[in-house]
Amino acid sequence: MSDMFSTPDMGHLGSSDYNHVYEPAEDSFLFLDALEQEHDFLAKLRPTVCLEIGSGSGVCITFLARMLGSSSAYMSTDINVRAACITRDTACRNSVMVEPVVTDLVGSKGIEASWAGGVRGREVVDRLFPLIPSILSPDGVFYLVIIKENDQDEIEDIMKKNGFQMVVVKSRQSGPEFLSVLKFSWLPSVT
């Protein structure tokens, strides 16, 4: 694996930082593996804006920025001010530029990355799903990390009603959890 595709350097973070932001775990690393697997597709897509929703430590958006290079603008959102600062620091430590925004959910176009969570494991993403059609560019894609309990089939149905098709990019068992990375793109008749 080349240095460009290696896990971003997180050496600037200590255990006290992880009291305030999500520490990269198996779901994060699965997502990094999925992004690496999607490299050729994403490089050909040539996104102008890439956005991570709920960036935490910034490891995922930093990985994507290192992988795709400076032809895209990289943004992240998090409701947590500390997460925005740490995301910025993670990007700087890894020699990429990410613009963190402190906000709830989203307000831009491009590649989306989001995390399941909340009540039933879907409270946040259930609020996000209706927004995707208005923020995603015609050739954009939306990635979502889920656990089995999030109900992949129901998520697929919800997104299909919003005009999207779904593929499973990568899945992995991690202890008691079964994790998957889903990719949504516009149905051909919608765009």
Asked if the model's pLDDT at residue 180 lies above 80, the reply is yes
Asked if the model's pLDDT at residue 119 lies above 50, the reply is no
87-107 mean pLDDT? 86
Backbone angles phi, psi at 43, to 5 degrees: -65, -40
Beta bridge partners of 165: 185
Tokens of 123: 């409270």
The answer as to whether 59 is a domain residue is yes
Domain coverage including residue 170: 22-186
Claim: this prediction has a pTM higher than 0.75 = yes
70-99 mean pLDDT? 92
Q: Residue 107 is part of a domain; what is its CATH number?
A: 3.40.50.150
Tokens of 27: 């779901």
Tokens of 138: 């015609």
17-30 mean pLDDT? 87
Instruction: Please give the Cα distance from 189 to 24 (Å, whole number).
Output: 37
The answer as to whether 38 is a domain residue is yes
Share of the chain above pLDDT 70, in %: 87
172-180 mean pLDDT? 91
Tokens of 29: 């690393």
pLDDT band (50, 70, 90) for residue 110: very low
Query: Could you give the number of structural domains in the chain?
Result: 1
Position 41, amino acid = F
Short-list 67, 56, 69, CA closest to 18: 56
The answer as to whether 2 is a domain residue is no
The per-residue pLDDT of the chain, averaged, comes to 86
The answer as to whether 98 is a domain residue is yes
Instruction: Please give the Cα distance from 98 to 96 (Å, whole number).
Output: 7
Cα 70 to its chain centre, rounded Å, is: 18
Instruction: Return all residues near 3 (Cβ < 8 A) that are at least 6 apart.
Output: none
The answer as to whether 9 is a domain residue is no
45-69 mean pLDDT? 93
pLDDT digits (tens, 9 = 90+) for 61-83: 999 999 999 989 999 988 888 99
Task: Map tokens 């102008």 to a residue.
Answer: 48
Q: What is the DSSP letter of 155?
A: H
pLDDT digits (tens, 9 = 90+) for 5-23: 889 988 898 888 888 887 8
The answer as to whether 72 is a domain residue is yes
Looking at residue 143, its pLDDT comes to 95
